[in-house]
Amino acid sequence: MCDVRVTRCPRCLAEDISADAHPSRRLVDGAAVPFLVCRNCFRAAELEFRIASDRVGLPYEQRPIRESLRLLVDFYTARRAESPDDPRIAIALDDVERRLAIAPVEPT
Ligand SMILES: [Zn+2]
């Protein structure tokens, strides 16, 4: 029997995002912070972030792909530490590490 922990999407509080997270952002005290949500919530979360940015006069910028992938690596690495027996997390982590390895390097 394996001990699998469920990490709920913080937006809909329904979907398990342990092995399928999508990195959006939200504004906290005027600063953009990472906000990992489920596939269903991703577009809405980005839209909410864009509207919130607009309201406080912050320019909305796409996050560089490598930054998103690094967030996912950190997230899945933490989930794997919690549920080392969950094969879905290992697969998700492998996949995002592969994408990070081939993602174009953007100017910093
Ligand atoms: Zn959700």
| Low-confidence spans in the chain with pLDDT less than 50 | 1
* CA 69 to ligand 1 centroid distance, Å: 19
39-46 CB contacts, 8 Å cutoff, 24+ apart: 39/15, 40/9, 40/12, 40/15, 41/9, 41/11, 41/12, 41/15, 44/11, 45/11
Q: What is the CA radius of gyration of the chain?
A: 15
pLDDT for residue 107: 62
* CA 74 to ligand 1 centroid distance, Å: 19
Answer whether residue 79 is part of any domain: yes
pLDDT for residue 1: 47
pLDDT for residue 108: 57
Structural domain boundaries, residue 72: 22-102
| Count of C-beta atoms within a 10 Å radius of residue 94 | 11
Q: Running DSSP on this structure, what letter comes out for residue 51? A: H
Answer whether residue 6 is part of any domain: no
pLDDT for residue 62: 82
- Rounded to two decimals, the pTM is 0.86
Count how many domains the chain has.
1
Answer whether residue 36 is part of any domain: yes
* CA 107 to ligand 1 centroid distance, Å: 32
Answer whether residue 17 is part of any domain: no
pLDDT for residue 104: 75
